[in-house]
Structure 1
Amino acid sequence: MESKVSEGGLNVTLTIRLLMHGKKGETVKKMREESGARINISEGNCPERIVTITGPTDAIFKAFAMIAYKFEEDITNSMSNSTATSKPPVTLRLVVPASQCGSLIGKGGSKIKEIRESTGAQVQVAGDMLPNSTERAVTISGTPDAIIQCVKQICVVMLESPPKGATIPYRPKPASTPVIFAGGQAYTIQGQYAIPHPDLTKLHQLAMQQTPFTPLGQTTPAFPGLDASPPASTHELTIPNDLIGCIIGRQGTKINEIRQMSGAQIKIANATEGSSERQITITGTPANISLAQYLINARLTSEVTGMGAL
C-alpha cells in the first residue's frame, strides 16, 4: 500500500534539465513517443545543448532510462574500435537551480552520501554556478540502472524542496569563450571570474595600434594608435540594503576587487532615510560597465543562493 501512496504523490509534473553534447534528433523523437515526456533541446550552434524533460515523474524516469541505455550503447559501440578493456561508466550532467543544491547535498553532505550509497552511482555537485546563471551542474555516473535510481532520488529532493527565488537558467555559449575588453586588458569569463588573458590582450593592443579598430557595436572607426574605447557612459543600479554588504566586502575589499577587474568607477550612495535600497553608479566604457554589472550580479547570486548551501 505504501508504495502506491508514494507513486501517487510523485505523479506531478516536474522539469529536469540536462546538458548534452551533439545532435541526437532522431533519438529524441523516439524518446518523446515512448516515454510520454515533453523533451525540448536548446537551439544554437553550441557544443553543449540543454535538454529539458518535463512530465509526470514516471515519464521522466522512462525518458532517463532511455537516455542512459542509449549512452551505454554509444560507449559499447565506441569501444568495439578501441583497445580499452574496462568500460567507462555512463555519465549525465543535470542542471539544477543552486537554491536546491543545498537540499541535494544535505546537512554535512548527508543526503548526497545516502544517494551515492543506495544507488551505487557517483554524484558530484559543482561548487561554482554555471556561467551567467544561478544553476549548478550535477554530474551522475554509473551503470544505466544506478543512474535511473539516482535520478529518481534527485527528483524526490527537487519536489520536496522547490527552488527559492528566481532562477536564472544556464544557456550554453557558442564554442568560443566570451571575451571582454576592459581597460586595455582582455578577460575571458570562466565560471564567476574574469581571468586576464595575456595572449588576447597582446592581440587587442596590437589591433589598437595597427588598424582602425572598431569595438563591437560601434560603427565609427577609431584612429590608428588611439585607444579605441567608446566614450564613458554611466549606469545606475539599486541594491537592497541588506545585500549591499556582500558587494562592499570587509573594509571595501570586494568593491575594490570589482573596480580593479572591471576597470569601471563604482560609487555607492549613502543610505537615505526611509529607503530600503542603495543606489550604485557605474561609470566607464560599455565593456567596463557590463563587466562590473556581471561581477556585482555574481556576488549577489552567490550571496542569495549560498544561504541554502552547506
Structure 2
Amino acid sequence: MESKVSEGGLNVTLTIRLLMHGKEVGSIIGKKGETVKKMREESGARINISEGNCPERIVTITGPTDAIFKAFAMIAYKFEEDIINSMSNSTATSKPPVTLRLVVPASQCGSLIGKGGSKIKEIRESTGAQVQVAGDMLPNSTERAVTISGTPDAIIQCVKQICVVMLESPPKGATIPYRPKPASAPVIFAGGQAYSIQGQYAIPHPDLTKLHQLAMQQTPFTPLGQTTPAFPGMDASPQASTHELTIPNDLIGCIIGRQGTKINEIRQMSGAQIKIASAMEGSAERQITITGSPANISLAQYLINARLTSEVTGMGAL
C-alpha cells in the first residue's frame, strides 16, 4: 500500500493545507500570477490561495497523490531558489533549510507522531527532514501546524510519508479549519467617530463608533486628539486609572473565550490592559483589573458586559 501511494499508483484525491507568510505567498504567486499558473499546469493539482490582507495565508493543494507531490516539489524548489537569491545579497555562509508548514487536523496528529513518537522518528530518519508537530491547536480551529524543514528532496519524501499516514488514518469527527485573521488595523477615535487605518486612509468604523459613543456616555473624559491612537494598549490620555470588577467563575469562560480569543479582542478594541486573577480556592468569583484611560476602561467594561449579557440571555450581544 505504502509504495503504491508514494508512486501515485492509487488514484486517491487528497487535500493538503499549507500555512504561509505573505512574502512566501508572493513568491508562489509570482508576477501577474505566472508562477502559480505554471505550478497548476505542470503538476495537475488544484492550488488555491486564501484571500485577504492577512499576515498569514492558507494555500490548499488538492489532487491525486502524484499531482500533490509534483506541486510540493515545485514549491520546495521555488523556496530554495528564494533562499539562494537572498544569500547572494547577504554575508551568511551556511544555507538555511527550506521550511514548509502543513496544517493537519489534530485528530490525525496522533497517527503522525506514533506510539511514543515512533512514527515521527521513523519519518525523520528515513527522509532526513526535520518534522515538528505543534503542541497547541491553531487559534479557533481543531488543526495543528506541522513544520517540515530540510532540503527540497527531503521535504518531498517527508510529504509522501505524511500523505500515507493521512490516507491510512482519516480525521475523526468534525474538523474546524484554521482561518488566519486579518492583520488588526490600528484604530483612532476622533470627534466621536472611530476610524480604522487601512494603508494611508482612515475608514469610518460604525461598530466601533457605536461602542465608543456608549463608552463616552458612561464616563466623563478628555476628548481625544486625532493624532492619539487609542490602540493597541496605548493610553489615550495621560492619566491612566484602574478599575476592578468581579465576575462569577462560571461566566469567566465567555469573557476569556477559546484560547483567550475573546479577552484579546476586548483588549484590542478597548485599548485597555485587562488582567484576570487566578481562581481563589473557596471563592465563586474572579477579579478582573482594567487599566487605561477613562475612555479605554469604560469601553472595556461595555464590551465585557455585552459578552455577559449575551451569555446569560443566550442572545447575541446587542
Smaller-chain TM-score bracket: 0.5 to 0.7
Structure 1 stretch 1-10 or stretch 46-55: which is displaced more?
1-10
Q: 1:278 to 1:189 in 2, by over 3 A?
A: farther
Change in CA separation of 1:132 and 1:256 when aligned onto 2, cut-off 3 Å: closer
Q: List aligned pairs for 1:16-27, cutoff 5 A.
A: 16-21=16-21, 25-27=33-35
Q: In the superposition, relative to structure 1, how do residues 270 and 153 fare at CA in structure 2: closer, same or farther (>3 Å)?
A: closer
Q: Which residue of 1 aligns with 2:132?
A: 124
**Which runs of 5 or more structure 1 residues have no equivalent in the other structure?**
none
The 8 Å contact of residues 243 and 300 in structure 1, kept in 2 or not, is answered as yes
Q: Distance in 2 between matches of 1:307 and 1:105?
A: 41
**Cα deviation digits, residues 231-276 of structure 1 (max 9, x gap):** 9999999999999999999999999999999999999999999999
- Inter-CA distance 245–222: structure 2 relative to 1 (3 Å threshold): closer
Identical-residue share of aligned pairs (%):
97
Using structure 1 for the length normalisation, give the TM-score: 0.59
Instruction: Summarize the Cα distance change of 1:70–1:299 in structure 2 as closer, same or farther, 3 Å threshold.
Output: farther
CA distance in 2, matches of 1:228, 1:276: 34
* 1:52 Cα deviation from its structure 2 partner: 0.3
Report if the CA contact (8 A) 2:45-2:71 is conserved. Answer: yes
Q: Indicate conservation of the 8 Å contact 2:123/2:161, yes or no.
A: yes
- TM-fit CA distance, 1:197: 22
Instruction: After TM superposition, list the pairs within 5 Å mapping 1:83-94 onto structure 2.
Output: 83-94=91-102
- Counting matched residue pairs gives 310
Deviation at 1:48, TM superposition (A): 1.1
Unaligned 5+ runs, structure 2: 22-29
Secondary structure of 1:171's aligned partner: coil
The answer on whether the counterparts of 2:4 and 2:10 sit within 8 Å (CA) in structure 1 is no
The residue matched to 1:10 in structure 2 has which SS?
Answer: coil
Cα deviations across residues 10-40 of structure 1 (Å, max 9, x unaligned)? 3200000001129993211110000000110
Residues 258-310 of structure 1: CA deviation (Å, up to 9, x unaligned): 99999999999999999999999999999999999999999999999999999
Is the Cα contact below 8 Å between 1:39 and 1:52 reproduced in 2? yes
Q: Cα gap change, 1:113/1:206 in structure 2, threshold over 3 Å: closer, same or farther?
A: farther
Which residue in 1 is equivalent to 2:10? 10
Residue 166 of structure 1: how far off its partner (Å) = 0.6
Bigger Cα displacement from structure 2, 103-112 vs 16-25? 16-25
Asked if the contact 1:38/1:54 (under 8 Å) is kept, the reply is yes
When residues 90 and 228 of structure 1 are mapped into structure 2, their CA distance, relative to the original with a 3 A threshold, is closer
TM-score, scaled relative to structure 2: 0.58
User: What CA distance in whole angstroms lies between the structure 1 residues aligned with 2:206 and 2:142?
Assistant: 29
Contact persistence 1:210–1:225 (CA under 8 A) = no
Asked whether the 8 Å contact 2:235–2:272 carries over to 1, the reply is no
2:16–2:102 Cα contact (<8 Å) kept: yes
CA contact (8 A) 1:188 1:194 kept: yes
Tell me the alpha carbon deviations over residues 94-122 of structure 1, each in whole angstroms, 9 at most, x when there is no partner: 00000100100111111000000000000
Alpha carbons of structure 1 residues 281 and 9: separation in structure 2 relative to 1, 3 Å: farther
Cα distance change, pair 85–236 in 1 and its aligned pair in 2 (3 A): closer
Bigger mean CA deviation after superposition, 191-200 or 256-265: 191-200
| Deviates most, 69-78 or 174-183 | 174-183
Residue 282 of structure 2 is aligned to residue 259 of structure 1: no
Is the CA contact (8 Å cut-off) linking 1:209 and 1:225 kept in structure 2?
no
Distance 2:131 2:290 in 1: 41
Cα distance in 2 for partners of 1:135, 1:282 equals 33
CA separation of 1:284 and 1:87: change in aligned 2, threshold 3 A? closer
Distance, in Å, in 2 between the alignment partners of 1:109 and 1:308 is 44
Equivalent pair of 1:128/1:192 in contact (CA under 8 Å): no
| Contact 1:16/1:52 (8 A) holds in 2 | yes
The structural deviation recorded for 1:207 is: 7.4
Report the CA distance shift for 1:282/1:24 in structure 2 as closer, same or farther (over 3 A). Answer: farther
Match of 2:144, SS state, is strand
CA RMSD of aligned residues (A): 11.4
